[in-house]
Every structure is written in C-alpha cells, then in structure tokens.
Structure 1
Amino acid sequence: MNSSNTERRRSAAYKLTFTAPAAEWNEALPIGNGRLGAMIYGGTAEEKLALNEDSLWYGGPRDRNNPDALAHLETIRRLLLEGDAEEAQRLSLLALSGVPETQRHYVPLGDLSLTFLHSRETSDYERELDIMTGIAAVRYRADGILFKRELFASFPDEAIVIRLTADRPGAISFLTRLTRGPGNRYYDEIVKADAGTIVMRGNGGGAGGVDFRTVLRATAVGGSSSIIGEHLLIDRADSVTLVLTAATSFRFADPEAQALSAADQVSQTAYDTLRERHADDVRSLMGRVSIRLGSADENADTLPTNERLARVSEGAEDTGLTALYYQFGRYLLVASSRPGSLPANLQGIWNDRILPPWDSKYTININTQMNYWASENGNLAECHEPLFDLLERMREPGRCTARTMYGIEEGFVAHHNTDLWADTAPQDLYMPATYWPMGAAWLSLHLWEHYAYGLDRAFLERAYPTLREAAVFFEHFLTDLPDGRVVTVPSVSPENTYLLPDGRPGILCAGPAMDSQILRELFTACIKAADILGVDDDFAMRLKTLRARLPQPEIGKHGQLMEWLEDYEEAEPGHRHISHLFALHPGTGWSPEATPVWTQAARVTLERRLANGGGHTGWSRAWIINLWARLEDGEKAHDNVQALLAHSTLPNLLDNHPPFQIDGNFGGAAGISEMLLQSHTGELSLLPALPIAWSEGDVEGLRARGGWTVGITWSGGALREARIRALRDGACVVRMRGDAFVEVVAEDGSAVEASSDGAGRIWWQTCAGTTYALRRSERSQQA
C-alpha cells in the first residue's frame, strides 16, 4: 500500500466525512467540551451552529415530594400483596406522584449564524469531523476562491473557536448574529460590549431559572469589522477568528463577567496555540485506545460516512465503519462529559428544542447509566466523574424523598429521572416507569465500577458513604413476604406491563427481578468495600443476611427468566426494556460458565424479545449487543451491531431512538468492547464474543477490572498476542478461546513462570507497572 493510501486509511479511521452541508440537525456534526456544545451544519451560503450550555435548564429547584405519599403507602403495599394491582395503581397515581408531576427540562443556548457574501455557486465541497482532535472543518470553492473553516470546542480554553480563511486576501465577508428559539423570542436583550463583541442576555425561564450570558467576539486580520444592531459585520478580511463563550448563574454569581473574561483570555491567544492546545487535550484521551476490526476495505474507507452507512443498511459489511463508530462513541463522551461539567444527558449536550423529547434530562432507569458503560473499559475514567458529582448532589434531595414518601430516616432514594437540580421525586404520571425506587441504587454502582477498574483506595473512601447510604435505604424499605424473602414494594419492572390471568394489564408489583438483581450487586459492593476499607463489620453482616433473603432468579414456562415474582405473560413480548437481565449486563454476577442455567434462560429471553420485534430502539439494540457479548455469542452480538448501524443510526452516526438519543452510541461502543474483552468474573476473558466478520484485527488500550490495561492481536479468529499492563502486584488470570499453550514474557524480554489448567486459562504473578506479552507458542501453532 502506498503512503497516500496508508494516510487515507489512517484518516478514515478517525474522521467523519461528507460531500454536502447538513440539510437538517440529524446530519450536523457535534463538537463539545463537556460544558459547551454545538452542532455544525457546514453551509456555504449560511453556516449555522446550534448551541448548548450544559447548565441552561428551564426553572429552578423545587420540593416536589407528595405530602400524602406516606399516609397511603401501606395501603398501596397491602393492595399489591393481595393481588389488587388495579386499585394500587389508581391510588399511586394520586398519592405517590410528584407535585407537580414533572421535573425541569434542558433548553438550548441558541443559534449562531454566519451569512456569507460570496457567490452562492460553490464546488469542491468537503465537510469533516476529526474525532482524534475534535476539530471540524469545512472546505469549498466560490468565485474561484478556496474557503476554509475550522471549528472546535476547547476544554482548556472554555470556548468555541471558529477560524475562517481563504486563499485570496480580502475575500472573507459575512455577517453573523446570535438568535434563540422559534421566532427568536427566547432571550431578553443583545448588547454591544465593545467594537468587536456582542452579548446575549437571558434566562432559562420559569421560577428560579438560571440566567445565561452568551458572548461572541470577532477578531479580523485585514478588512474591517463593525456592529450594527444585533449583527457583527466582517468586510473583506484576510482571516477571521470568532470566539464564543457562555456562562450561567448555576455556576457563577456574575455569568456575564465570567463569559467576557473567558473571551478576553482566548482572544489574546494566537489561533495556532488555541488549536494545538485543544487538539492535544482531545488526543490525550482519544489516543488511549486504537482498534482495527477485520481486513481493510479501501473502497469503503474512501467513501463519505453517510454513504458507508447506507451500504451497511443494504447489507454490506464495513468493519472500518464499525471501528469508527466505536471511536465516535468515545469521542461523544469526551465532548459531553468532562471533569467539572454536568453528566451527559439523554442527548449528551446537543439539544436544539425549547421543549425536547423526554425533556433531554437524566433518565436513570437505564439511559443515563448506559451513557457511562464505555467510560471505564474505553479508558476514559475521568469522563465518569460528572456522574459522580450529580449523584453526590442527589443525596440531600434523596434523603428528603426517603423521609417524606416512605417514612425512612436513613439513606437516600431516587426514582427514574433526575434533572439539573438533582430532583429525586417521581417524574411524570407514566405508571410503567414513575414509581420505581431504584435510581440511586443503580447510579451508586457506578462508584464501585470506577473503583473496580482503577483500584484507587482514596476514591473508595470518598465513595463508600454514598454506596452505604443507598443500601441503608433498602434495609428499611424492603418488605417481608410470608415465605421469608424480602422484596421492593411498590415498584415496577421498567417500563413493562404484565397480564393478569384474566387478561387485564398490571404494572405496579412487588419484587420485580431487576430490583433484586440491583440490590444483590449493591449489597455485594458495600460488603466488599467495607472489607477493603476495614470498616462497618456489623453493617456488612446485616447486608449479607438481607442479600441471602432476596429472591433468586426463576425460570418461567417458556424457559425464560421470569421478570416478576409470578410467571406472567407480557403485554408487549418485544418490549424495548430488558430489565430482568440486569444481572447478565451491566451486572457482574452471571456468566455461561458460572451460572449456566440462568444464562441459558437469559438466552431464551433474548430470543423471545427479538422474535417479537425487540431492539427497535437504538439504546435497546445497544443493550442487546452487550447481553449477547456476555453470553459469548459473537455472531448474535455482531448481528445486532449491524442492526444498530443499519436501522438506528443517523447519517452523522448519532443514535436514533427515534428521535435522536445518545445512549445508543455509548451502549454500542461498550458492546464492541465487551465482544473483545470482559473482566466481570474476576478474570480477563480475551475475545469472548469474536464474530467471524472480525476474524483478524487488533485493539490496544482497553481497561479491565482489577487494574489491567490490555491490548490484543488476533488472526484467523484466534489470539496471536495479548499485552497486559499491571497496575498492581498480584495474580493475573487470563481466559481465552481455544487452548492455553502460550508463552508469557515480561517487557524486558524475560520469561515469566505461568500455570495453565489446560482449559483456556493461564495465570501468573504480576508486578505493578510491568507489561506482559502472551504469545501463542510453537506448540499451540502446531496443534
């Protein structure tokens, strides 16, 4: 392969490319620095950036806990345990619902438009996003002049930067303005700060809504710039740098002073310095993992991204696009969740609607959690931190909800949604989701996951009180059944409906399988954490006793895992949620080897779901990929990767629920990782779900629980080499497909004494900071 082809293929591995501007939001390209985001359309007559700031939401904090909940709680429990779901549901709508029923919703910062004064006739158009550097670019010719734009959202400099150049002096003329909302009616004023700066002032709306300020500054080389009314005008410049900053009163007492100060600092820095600082920052995260799946398809690699996606929709295999999709998922996390920002919401940070789908907030019965499935194994651990920050802010509201709704004085609780203000009261009047009390419990497990990967004792010391408090709530909330088991009641199995024997639908229930599985994970994490830290022996013993009384998984009449305590039929057999497979993924308790009966029942459950139309939403399909990977079925996992790309991916590679919802991107990336490396059983399982289509390839930089960083090379469907870097001293246990005849060599070239059980496992003692290479030996290759 000649050097130009090599460079083109390397470029294709990290670039989304297009040959036309975005016709709509679903074709635009996302940039972000965690706090600020933009969707770039790349137009030639007019460029548009749809803007967001992560803390700009409608309305302020409220106490929405229903004051009548506690008085009716025992009646609701009694009705459910007696089998009267209908009456329990009627009373719950009145007594358990939030007052008012809805939380706050995320809103856009506005739009930035640039109207160009050159000819509308253009040629040689190119639009791209380099996800290794986080830089978007637009190139085209008009009037015989080559125009270029580069755009990025800088984390180090806290600004969106736009650079406009041309290959002829004095060629750049345009006018630009800030607008917000339909009819441009959702801000208060635009003022001139100085000769090259305008400021938009406004409020998110609603009682207690945050104030926002958006600053736009233009610096031109050559030509002239001026402000007329709400417009910045650039006339016959050689080059122009636009800087956009924003701040809200959620973080700053004086958001205007903050935004202007940030613009001042950026404007005083040379563009090349800004660009390099930004690219180095993104590259430092994105460059930790490389991935190649299957052999090269040079024809596909040179096609625009939307055409490659269309080919997959028609049945083509494009392993390069799959690898790009994986890295794009990591890029979206880098762009939407950085230390100090809010966590990625239902749309990351990219929302263009004043009233967005599902409020674009934090849905914590799967979606927010899925946003972070790829953070640890994808080597982006610091991008996980905003979720922990939100969870910490949820503790005080969650204590209030625990007291007011449930009469519990210890611990904290949250339901299926939260918002900017860490609201924990039930959201909506949607029976299949609203009255589920497991949100804080599931979120708290992310603290344990972060520790399990990084083994940072200091972090565990900080996280343990939150884990403990989430578990303490359920010490008091769990209800005894006559047979001695303890269950959550009232609850639901998100967001499913069962059928009673007489055909009537039921939703509220006692002890759905997911709740027991989450609590088993939470109690186990607390027990392990207490042991590591040498604290809370009595509490750990109480949790062990409670854990033993949780319902065990049961198998129903179809051979499926039962979702409820009774073997009900489902109203919707192809339902998008697969809640009762939590223990398989993202839980860590099951595997085909350790729990073959339950995993076989999980397989039946998945097959029944898919046979009845399951996986019809992007995030549900992504969850299914992870589940098949945990079942070590590479072909089924691959089929669902293909389906995710073919049916649930927009032209710009964003996930399509529909409409756009970002969790499918994150869940899909996590699923690809799970197909190549698993660590939930306490071992490193290499290539556990490798499909035939990926029969050769390599990956570098994946992380595993236990403090390992792993690289793998394979061909012919078999391992050729694995590279394992140890964070700590201790035993490393590796499981791989096929035989275990491998040589283990330390990075200094010395052989390492290793043991094998002859059934695919090998183990040896590690030294912190050392990389070990596992290579297939001659004996293995001859065999």
Structure 2
Amino acid sequence: MKKIYLVCVISIFCGKIMAQSSHVLWYKQPAEFFEESLVLGNGKMGATIFGGVTTDKIYLNDITLWSGEPVNANMSPEAYKNIPDIREALKNEDYKLAEELNKKLQGKNSERYLPLGTMEINFPNSGKATNYRRELDLSNAISKVSYEIDGVTFTREYFVSAPNQIMIIKLTSNKKGTLNFDIKQDSQLQSKVEVKDNVLLLNGRAPINENAGYRVVSEYLEIKERGTRFTTLTKIKNTDGTITISNSTVGIKNATEALIYVSVATSFNGFDKNPASEGVDEKALAEKNLNKAYSKSFNKLKEIHIADYQKFFNRVTLDLGKTTAPDLPTDERLLRYADGKEDKNLEILYFNFGRYLLISSSRTLGVPANLQGLWNPHFFPPWSSNYTMNINLEENYWLAENTNLSELHQPLLSFIKNLSVTGKVTAKTFYGVNEGWAAAHNSDIWAMSNPVGQFGKEDPMWACWPMAGAWLSTHIWEHYIFTQDEKYLKEEGYPLMKGAAEFCLGWLVPDKKGNLITSPSTSPENQYKSTDGFVGATLYGGTADLAMIRECFDKTIKASKVLNIDTDFKKKLEEALSKLHPYQIGKKGNLQEWYFDWEDNDPKHRHQSQLFGLFPGDHISPLKTPDLAEASKKTLEIKGDETTGWSKGWRINLWARLWDGNRAYKMYRELLRYVDPDGKKTENPRRGGGTYPNLFDAHPPFQIDGNFGGTAAVAEMLVQSDENEIRLLPALPDAWEMGSVKGICARGGFEIEMEWSNKVLQKVSVLSKNGGKTKLIFNKKIKEITLKKGEQKVVLW
C-alpha cells in the first residue's frame, strides 16, 4: 500500500535542523484539561485521550447517544392560529405586542448529546517520568504517548477503527515484565459496571428530558423502561504476564506488551424508532464487534484502519512554501504564532485538522456532527451539544465538498430527509402552511423541527426562526453541483428541495408595496433598535429570511431545469423570486439587516445572517452585484474582526468571497489565536474566540464549527467556483506568495491541482469526474476547457 504524507518542511533554527510538521500535533506533557486532550473517532465512536503517566483518562462517546426519544411533532396542533394576530400587530407597527405574541409559536427545546463514559488506565509507577511525548498524527489518525521511568520506556498507541468499529490501545515496555495496569470505567449516566468472562462491561441508559407542557405520545408512556441504552465492552489481549480481574476492573501484571479492545454500542435505531422498545440489541452488537476485532492481529487492524482513513485524508495536500518557524510542541507553536510570528505549517496543520475532524465525526447516516462534533465530556453540555441550524450545523459541512470529502456530507443530507418528515407537521401546526416542510433553530438526533422556546418561555430573538429548511436545502444542491450525481438529485435531493421551497412559498405574504416578505420574521439571535427606542427581534421582512429564500428558490429552479421536471412549480418560484422585497442599502452604506434602516442593538453582533447571499449563498458577488458586495464589505467593517470562533470562520469565508485575501488571512491568523483551557486559572488569562491548545475551536467554550469554517475558508481563498467557471487563487494573501495544492474540488465535478509563485499561477491541472466544460479564471485571464469523464488536463498559465 502506497502511503502519501503531507509536506514536512525542514528549517534551520538556532543552528539546529528542525523538522516542523504540518500533520502532527505533539506536546511535552499530559493533558490536564479537555481542551488540551487529543481526539480520535471513526464517525460513530469517539475517544478523548489525556495521556497521563499514572492515570490515562479517556472519555468515550457514541454519536448516537442522546437523551430523549422520537419527538411528537404534533406537540402544539393549534399554534398556527396565533399567526394572524402577530401579523396584525406587525402591520400596525406594534412591535412590542408582536414580540409577546411570537412566543406563542414556541414548542419544546431539543434533547442533548451525552457522554458515554470515562475509562481510566491506572499504572502503579512511582518514579518520575522523563522524555514525555504525546502526539496525534493526522496522516494516519493514530495517537501515541511515550515516556521513561527508571530506565524503562513505556509507549502507548491508540486508534479508533471505522472498518472494525473498535478502539485499540497497544501498550508496551522495553523491559520484560515491567508493564502493569488496571482498567476501570464509569459513566455520568445511570449505569452499572461488572466483569464477566474477563470482559469489563459498562451498561447504562440515557435519560428522558421532558419539557413542561410537552405532550408525549401515549404509546411511549406505556413503556416501562424508556431512553437509549448503551454498552461498553473492554477486553485485554496479552502476549505475556497475567490478566487480573476484580468485581469492577480488569488489568495485567508483569507483562511486556498488551492490547486493549474497546467496543461501544447503543440501542438507537433511527430518529422515528423508540430506542427502548424498537431499539438495536446494543449488547449483541458490541459483542459482535469486539469478537470480530479480537480475532485479528494488531498489525492487521492498524493496516485496515490506516487504509480506510487515508482514502479520505490523502485526497488533498497543501503546501504554502518555505517556513523558518522552529519545531515546537503545538501549544508553544500557537503561543509563538499569537505573537505575530510566521508559521505556515501551523496554518496547514489547522487546515488538515479540520478535515481530520470531519472524517472522524461524520460517518453515521442520519446523525451529522453536532456542536462538539463527536467529543462531548459534559452531562449538561453547552447549548445541549445539539444541532443549531441558524449557522452552526451548516458551517460544520462547508468543507465537505470543496475539500474532497463529499461522502462525509451524507450524514447531514440524510438528516435533512429525516427533518422533512417531522417538518411537514411543523409547517402545518406552527405556521399554518399545508405544503412542504419547515425546520427551526435547533434540532437533535430525533429530527425535531419545531420552533424551540419551552412553549413561550424563551426570547424570540433566538427561539422563533423557521428558515432552517431553506438553508439546509442549499446543501443538497451543493452536493449535486460538486458531484454531478443526477440520480441522487432526482430520487432524494429534489423532493427535499421542493418541500423546503413549498413551505417558503406558503409562508411569504405581500407587504404594503406588494413585495413578498416573511411575517413574522427574526434575524438569527440579533435585535434591532427601532426609531422609538424599542429593542426587539420580531419584525417583518428580515433580510436574512429573504436571502435564504432567494437561494432556496434559485437552487430549486436550477434543480428543476437539470431534471427537466415540475415546469409549473418552477414558474411559481420564478414569479415569487421576482417579487421578493429587494435588498436595501442603509445610510451607513451597509447591507440592511432589517426591513427598515434601524440600528442593531449590538452593532458588532457575532451573526451576519443578512450576508447569506454572499456566503454560503452566491447571488451576491463583486462581479454580479458590485453595489451589494460593497455594502456587504461595509457591514463587515462595521462589525469588526473581533468575534467568536465560529463567527470568525464565517467572516473569513465572507472576506474571501469579496476577494480580499489579506483581510481573510488576517482573520485566519486571529482564528488561530491561542486561548487558555476553560478551567485553567492563570494571572493573565487568554480568552475570547480562537484556538485551544489541542487546536479545538474556542467559541468559547469549545464548538467545532470554527474548525470546519476555518478549513473551508482556506479552500475558498484558493478556489471559488459556480456551475460555469472556476476562479483560481481569488483571495490569495500576500503571506502565501508561493505554494501548491492538490485535490481541492470545484463545482461542476472538477478537481484542481495547481502551483503558484510570487502570487502568480504557474500550472494548473484539472480532472473531470463526470465530463463537462468550464472556464478557468486567474486575474483577468480566462481559459475554456472541455473534458471527458475521468480526463485530466494540464494548463500552463
């Protein structure tokens, strides 16, 4: 098997040759905090490694372990009857009344993503450890720990295999009979630990979290045991020494080498199946995976794991030219970088890490990566570690297509299909729209689609927002336009896009000028200050709503044309699109967020939803709509660059779409700004949006969307595309004056390899996955190419 490794640049520092990596995170000490740990995952099982010397703590997760059970989408069957009153209040410009009435369109809050358990490997070492090293190699998704005690070298190697659905830990010592440890497990959830046939078992159940006023489906109330069951099986394989057991631990004495196999499973069996009565037999599944893996050798398991992982990771390589940065532990590299020093390979490392995280957390159909990806340690995680669909869930997948990980988009695409089922009920009961489907601010593994807010207890500024279906539907088109998979578009994608568009058609109403608007409307998590000083969120005709509807209609029209179907429906969309209330440019030159030219209550607010048409949409651009692009730029300048981690990720993409590479790069550097772990006490704490020592995104706290948004933005700086053209190096910063990239994808089913020097394109190679034609654009030079399926063409610039 041929192995391809990313570039390692050799630099000279202080007279020594230093090998500085663009694919290895490493540290001189164990992790004390979660934000210092190293994470592994196979898209379903997650492991968080602390790498301690006397105790190695490992958090375990399963992406299907959530509280709750299938949602009763019909929880509030007459909520829609409040809409005429809200619209009347808005028509009368009584925003205070509209704000109160809008709360009547609220349902239950989401369930939460839960930690499965904690595994501890305890070592009876009493000596002091020296030469400690802890690392994660992104080129093969393997973590290692090594150290010396009293002249003995101890090593550990960890990986989580997707093909074998197992975690493997190999422990060795270089002196015979000196390896001793025992393993114990516990969970924050209701659980029981026991040892049976030399296997350590942890069995438990996730809680049910009912919101006050939420009517549970009666058939579930009849089930005595409710909630998702889970199990963990841990077994040791030894070559020497003696396996030891107690009532609650397994271990080994006087060994030289040992393998630990960890298998996890839950009873989750789909968003619409009760996990207690209709669930998977989680014990049988965990046992099957354990036994299957246990019969294989470590080397075979490792070989299969690496081959499976590298088929995704090795598709893209990035080189940003020479670096003079020294080889330092990753936490020290971040601190040095925060002082303004050059470290191009750290910038590549962060890009690679984003792709690594998506490969590791997005391989389970119907269960996309959540706010924490796969790695949540908290019983009550921030924001329930749920699917926040007014930006965060979507941002998780901005890198899926353009960084050549299209298959990993499938967990989100299949989740959208689940949402459309509950969303049909939500459209009717909460919004009075009988066609199509709708989804709101939050969701969970049960594809909950209702607006949240605990039935009127929460602020409409975040709880009352029905546009998730419109936004998510654009991901379906993105998947098609990158892959050209017409079969998917016809059989699955288009019906979902049409359903989202049908809801939007039914939700739009005319304003006083005859233009189509939404009413009621909010702009995600932001508030206006009206001319009379009222601060609120509920209004009509919010720019973000209309931007998302424009994009939804535009892409659905295009899909209809590709498939040559639904001509009458396409005409309806085209007519509605022409009647949408147009964008407005405010007195400050900004793109208005509100129907009126009102002030923002927080002018530097983290959301920039009114710029949706610039990115991730594409109906605003410097070429097509120069006035709106300039107004978008002014909006970003007013907001400033200081914001949360995920918001920085979004703003970098926005600056890239404005073709301002240096501003995008400035914010990319700020995204990599060192942030102290949440629990760390220091005299001068480094807080705010940025990056934790383990390269996790700091909202703060940890949210994975900033990692994904940052990686997507690097690709966006290098290649931008639509159905007809590919722009090469459209937002290349001065700092990246030379470099190369291979494997970046462009719309139309193309894959790009290119080299540049002195910011000038030297050579580009284009591969067509399905055949087709496109225009290559660099600066003002255009080259048209036509390729057959599988054909690759080299173009000298």
Equivalent residue number for residue 508 of structure 1:
538
Equivalent residue number for residue 698 of structure 2:
656
What SS is found at the alignment partner of 2:672?
A: helix
Matched ranges for 1:663-702 at <5 A: 663-680=705-722, 682-702=724-744
Worse-superposed segment, 369-378 or 73-82: 73-82
Equivalent residue number for residue 555 of structure 1:
585
Contact kept? 2:452, 2:463, Cα under 8 Å? yes
Could you tell me which of 354, 369, 373 is aligned with 2:379?
Answer: 354
The reply to whether residue 708 of structure 1 matches residue 718 of structure 2 is no
Contact kept? 1:588, 1:681, Cα under 8 Å? no
Worse-superposed segment, 638-647 or 201-210: 201-210
Give, in whole Å, the separation in 2 of the partners of 1:220 and 1:340: 36
Contact kept? 1:34, 1:342, Cα under 8 Å? no
**Amino acid in structure 2 at the alignment position of 1:105:** R
The reply to whether residue 624 of structure 1 matches residue 651 of structure 2 is yes
**Amino acid in structure 1 at the alignment position of 2:470:** A
Worse-superposed segment, 72-81 or 664-673: 72-81
Displacement of 1:193 in angstroms is: 2.9
The reply to whether residue 29 of structure 1 matches residue 38 of structure 2 is yes
Displacement of 1:410 in angstroms is: 1.6
Equivalent residue number for residue 412 of structure 1:
437
Equivalent residue number for residue 4 of structure 2:
none
Worse-superposed segment, 145-154 or 245-254: 245-254
Equivalent residue number for residue 83 of structure 1:
93
Q: Given the superposition, is the C-alpha separation of residues 420 and 10 from structure 1 closer, same or farther in structure 2, using an over 3 Å criterion?
A: farther
Equivalent residue number for residue 394 of structure 1:
419
Equivalent residue number for residue 40 of structure 1:
49
Contact kept? 1:364, 1:439, Cα under 8 Å? yes
**Amino acid in structure 2 at the alignment position of 1:470:** A
Equivalent residue number for residue 452 of structure 1:
481
Give CA-to-partner distance per residue, 1:296-329, whole Å, 9 cap, x none. 22x43x1111111001111112111001100100
**Amino acid in structure 1 at the alignment position of 2:525:** E
Higher relative contact order by CA 8 Å / sep ≥ 6: 1 or 2? 2
Equivalent residue number for residue 225 of structure 1:
243
Contact kept? 1:107, 1:354, Cα under 8 Å? yes
What is the TM-score with the length of structure 2 in the denominator?
A: 0.91
Contact kept? 1:294, 1:693, Cα under 8 Å? no
Matched ranges for 1:114-129 at <5 A: 114-129=121-136
What SS is found at the alignment partner of 2:57?
A: strand
Give, in whole Å, the separation in 2 of the partners of 1:10 and 1:521: 46
Give CA-to-partner distance per residue, 1:569-621, whole Å, 9 cap, x none. 111000000000000000011221121111011110000000xxx54200001
The reply to whether residue 719 of structure 1 matches residue 780 of structure 2 is no
Equivalent residue number for residue 372 of structure 1:
397
Equivalent residue number for residue 49 of structure 1:
58
Give, in whole Å, the separation in 2 of the partners of 1:146 and 1:229: 31
Give, in whole Å, the separation in 1 of the partners of 2:169 and 2:565: 53
Contact kept? 1:16, 1:128, Cα under 8 Å? yes
Displacement of 1:483 in angstroms is: 1.4
Give CA-to-partner distance per residue, 1:101-143, whole Å, 9 cap, x none. 3220111001010010123411011111011111000011112
Q: Given the superposition, is the C-alpha separation of residues 328 and 632 from structure 1 closer, same or farther in structure 2, using an over 3 Å criterion?
A: same
**Amino acid in structure 2 at the alignment position of 1:190:** V
Q: Given the superposition, is the C-alpha separation of residues 371 and 37 from structure 1 closer, same or farther in structure 2, using an over 3 Å criterion?
A: same
Give, in whole Å, the separation in 1 of the partners of 2:426 and 2:286: 36
Matched ranges for 1:193-592 at <5 A: 193-195=196-198, 197-206=199-208, 208-251=226-269, 252-297=279-324, 299-300=325-326, 302-340=327-365, 342-428=367-453, 429-461=458-490, 462-592=492-622
Contact kept? 2:426, 2:437, Cα under 8 Å? yes
Q: Given the superposition, is the C-alpha separation of residues 3 and 285 from structure 1 closer, same or farther in structure 2, using an over 3 Å criterion?
A: closer
Displacement of 1:339 in angstroms is: 4.6
Could you tell me which of 16, 23, 41 is aligned with 2:25?
Answer: 16
Equivalent residue number for residue 767 of structure 1:
788
Could you tell me which of 184, 187, 190 is aligned with 1:187?
Answer: 190
Displacement of 1:253 in angstroms is: 2.4
**Aligned-pair Cα RMSD in Å:** 1.7
Q: Deviating runs (4+, > 6 A) in structure 1? A: 6-11
Equivalent residue number for residue 683 of structure 2:
none
Give CA-to-partner distance per residue, 1:183-237, whole Å, 9 cap, x none. xxx3331222312x11111111116421111111111111111220111121111
What SS is found at the alignment partner of 2:696?
A: coil
Displacement of 1:6 in angstroms is: 8.9
Give CA-to-partner distance per residue, 1:660-710, whole Å, 9 cap, x none. 000000000001111000003731101011111110111100000011100
Unaligned runs of 5+ in 2: 1-6, 210-225, 270-278, 674-688
Matched ranges for 1:106-117 at <5 A: 106-117=113-124
Unaligned runs of 5+ in 1: 738-758, 777-783
**Amino acid in structure 1 at the alignment position of 2:574:** K
Percent identity over the alignment is 38
The reply to whether residue 145 of structure 1 matches residue 188 of structure 2 is no
Contact kept? 2:672, 2:690, Cα under 8 Å? yes
Give CA-to-partner distance per residue, 1:377-420, whole Å, 9 cap, x none. 00000110000111111112111111111222221101011001
What is the TM-score with the length of structure 1 in the denominator?
A: 0.93
Give CA-to-partner distance per residue, 1:481-501, whole Å, 9 cap, x none. 121211111121111110011
What SS is found at the alignment partner of 1:188?
A: strand
